[in-house]
Amino acid sequence: MRAPFALIAPVAALLAPLALTACGDPAPTYIDQAWVRLSPSKDRPSAGYFVAHGGDTGTQLRGVITDYALKVDMHETVSKDGMTTMQAIDSVDIPAKGEVAFAPGGKHLMILGVNDTAISRGKMQFTFLLANGDRLLVDAVIRKPEGAAATAPAPAPAPGHDGH
């Protein structure tokens, strides 16, 4: 009765590397095209935008934090009965191989108190917190109100939404 076991062992040794190759490295979720539209006034929030790309496995964006501002919230602009308002969102699905854009007129980051050093450097780093435990560090370009028209496709501010 030893023969079958002796046969299985070499087969398993052959299968193990094949299984690893078949799985490969799963494509991770990632964030790009991050930028901040700096508010013209320190008393009013700036807005942040980016595109989230789903990896092989879907996950959720649970929050965004930064060392370069006082507070970051995820918001969504919604139009209802001709009125444009915004509401806080706690979590955003990032579907497998899908794409979620935070863009003017839709979902956005609301950023309070952007740090002066970040402003003078023209960029700030955000940490995106995913439901799968990943933390994605992403640099966002800061566009100042005056320079926005020259460097950006000048997205129109959503009406009634505090300039973002």
Q: Environment class of residue 26 by beta-carbon count within 10 Å: exposed (0-12), middle (13-18) or buried (19+)?
A: exposed
C-alpha atoms less than 13 angstroms from C-alpha of 119 in its C-beta half-sphere: 17
- Nearest residue relative to Cu ion (C-beta): 75
Residue 143 — φ and ψ, nearest 5°?
-105, 120
The minimum distance between CB 88 and Cu ion, in angstroms, equals 8
The minimum distance between CB 108 and Cu ion, in angstroms, equals 6
The minimum distance between CB 47 and Cu ion, in angstroms, equals 7
Q: Which is nearer to Cu ion, 48 or 55 (CB)?
A: 48
Q: Which is nearer to Cu ion, 42 or 97 (CB)?
A: 42
Q: For binding to Cu ion (CB under 5 A), which residues are involved?
A: 75, 86, 110
Q: Environment class of residue 119 by beta-carbon count within 10 Å: exposed (0-12), middle (13-18) or buried (19+)?
A: middle
The minimum distance between CB 116 and Cu ion, in angstroms, equals 22
Query: How many secondary structure helices (H) and strands (E) does the chain include?
Result: 3, 10
